[in-house]
Chain A
Amino acid sequence: SAVISQKPSRDICQRGTSLTIQCQVDSQVTMMFWYRQQPGQSLTLIATANQGSEATYESGFVIDKFPISRPNLTFSTLTVSNMSPEDSSIYLCSGTGTGDYNEQFFGPGTRLTVL
């Protein structure tokens, strides 16, 4: 399956600022997703990143807070806007379309701490 990289791997940010996380896949993928994972908990889907159009957000997540871009089939960004300490989490990018079972494969994650 393809390999996903994320930048930054971790960051510490001040309340009220914004951070953009980049996700790069080494081959074209059909779908890309953004997740949030609190320590010791499972994955919460934020949105599906659609190539060339607006992302599809899950309940509880809005574009103004988590704008997402996907300009092509190998790259996506997630911005966490106007951050608060409650946004402290691990943010994971995933993709599908290159595995035998259409399984999702994940990037290494971005550990965000908001002070």
Chain B
Amino acid sequence: GQNIDQPTEMTATEGAIVQINCTYQTSGFNGLFWYQQHAGEAPTFLSYNVLDGLEEKGRFSSFLSRSKGYSYLLLKELQMKDSASYLCAVMDSNYQLIWGAGTKLIIKP
């Protein structure tokens, strides 16, 4: 079966760095997406990785290792507004998105 695992909840301090991990087992791979979802709002696209390595976009970076079925989202200089759920999603061989359950990130002052 297809499976995506990410931690249920993480806590970090304002100004610090946090890494949210995602491991996946899917039938085929056509890219991995990270989304941010604030409570009561729709998910918004953060990043996309299809090749191994690190993609940096401002305070957010995303890493992919296809051989290990592993990705992480790195958030630097955390701000209170970063408190949200972070969803990992993998596009399988049928170009269908398989969604993780999401990681709720709590930022403390």
* Interfacial residues, chain A to chain B (CB-CB below 8 A): 1, 40-43, 45, 92, 99-109
**With A and B bound together, what is the CA distance between A105 and B43 in angstroms?**
8
B residues in contact with A102, CB < 8 Å = 31
A to B CB contacts below 8 Å, 10 in the list: A40-B104, A42-B87, A42-B101, A43-B87, A45-B96, A99-B45, A100-B48, A103-B45, A105-B44, A109-B41
**With A and B bound together, what is the CA distance between A104 and B96 in angstroms?**
11
**With A and B bound together, what is the CA distance between A92 and B41 in angstroms?**
10
B29 at the interface (CB under 8 A from A): no
How many residues on chain B are close to A (CB under 8 Å)? 17
Partner pick for B102 among A1, A42, A100, CB 8 A cutoff: A42
- Given A42-B87, A42-B100, A104-B97, A109 and B42 touching (CB < 8 A)? yes
With both beta carbons as reference points, the residue of chain B lying nearest to A48 in the complex is identified as B96
**With A and B bound together, what is the CA distance between A40 and B8 in angstroms?**
10
B99 at the interface (CB under 8 A from A): yes
**With A and B bound together, what is the CA distance between A82 and B1 in angstroms?**
32
- Given A101-B31, A103-B33, A41 and B45 touching (CB < 8 A)? no
B residues in contact with A106, CB < 8 Å = 42-44
Partner pick for B42 among A41, A42, A100, A107, CB 8 A cutoff: A107
Q: How far is the CB of B105 from chain A (nearest CB, A)?
A: 14
Q: How far is the CB of A105 from chain B (nearest CB, A)?
A: 6
Contact B41 A108 (CB under 8 A): yes
With both beta carbons as reference points, the residue of chain B lying nearest to A109 in the complex is identified as B42
B residues in contact with A41, CB < 8 Å = 101-102
With both beta carbons as reference points, the residue of chain A lying nearest to B48 in the complex is identified as A101
A residues in contact with B99, CB < 8 Å = 42-43, 45
